[in-house]
A and B are shown apart, each in its own frame.
Chain A
Amino acid sequence: DGGITQSPKYLFRKEGQNVTLSCEQNLNHDAMYWYRQDPGQGLRLIYYSQIVNDFQKGDIAEGYSVSREKKESFPLTVTSAQKNPTAFYLCASQKQSSYNEQFFGPGTRLTVL
């Protein structure tokens, strides 16, 4: 079945450590996105990529980094520079044509201790 996978579902890290969240899609979508959700908040855009080897900062990119070496994969690294990393992280992908919705993965809950 086609879809988006994020692993792991739950992730714990010590403060000061970098951590990489995985996102893989087999939908042959060109665009991929990373969002963060905090309690009582909407989804806020961290980074997005329209094409392989290219990506742009979203609204809250500070303390995060991404790569897009393959169409299927868009990993997100939460660095030690991110002041409040504990959150629910969502990856999404979208076919690059008009009026297509973004499809979301199941999310990764990151807790920094």
Chain B
Amino acid sequence: DQQVKQNSPSLSVQEGRISILNCDYTNSMFDYFLWYKKYPAEGPTFLISISSIKDKNEDGRFTVFLNKSAKHLSLHIVPSQPGDSAVYFCAAREPGGGSNYKLTFGKGTLLTVNP
């Protein structure tokens, strides 16, 4: 059963507009959420994160919103640029015993920003 879901496999937006990528989760024990960006044949790179005690975190053009009651988070990119075209993965962390931190990843959303 998928605990982290990215229901949109792809998203296409115009350069300069807002990109909104969505992520839903089912495990209420998740306490930390991350977004990664991945280009083909490369490793993912960390973008932005949010703790479950917050509802918003902003870093430049990237903002992540967390709605705990709905178990939903979203990544907003404003303004979108062609270089933002990549696959975006949502990930969630469930704290385990000791220092056991595992991440559960969604399947990713392919963002295409058109010039």
- Interface residues of A, Cβ cutoff 8 Å to B: 4, 6, 9, 30-31, 35, 40-45, 48, 50, 56, 58, 88, 90, 92, 94, 96, 99, 101-107, 109
Contact = CB atoms under 8 A, between A and B. Distances in A.
23 contacts: A6-B43, A30-B99, A31-B101, A35-B105, A40-B9, A42-B4, A42-B6, A42-B105, A42-B107, A42-B108, A43-B44, A56-B100, A58-B102, A99-B32, A99-B51, A101-B34, A102-B103, A103-B46, A104-B43, A105-B43, A106-B43, A107-B43, A109-B41
Contacts of A44: 105
B42 to A, nearest CB: 6
Nearest to A105: B43
The 4 closest A-B pairs by CB, nearest first: A104-B43, A42-B105, A101-B46, A43-B105
B67 interface: no
Q: Chain A's interface: helix, strand, loop or mixed, by majority? A: strand
A103 B43 CA distance: 9
A106 B42 contact: yes
Nearest to A30: B99
B49 to A, nearest CB: 6
Nearest to A40: B107
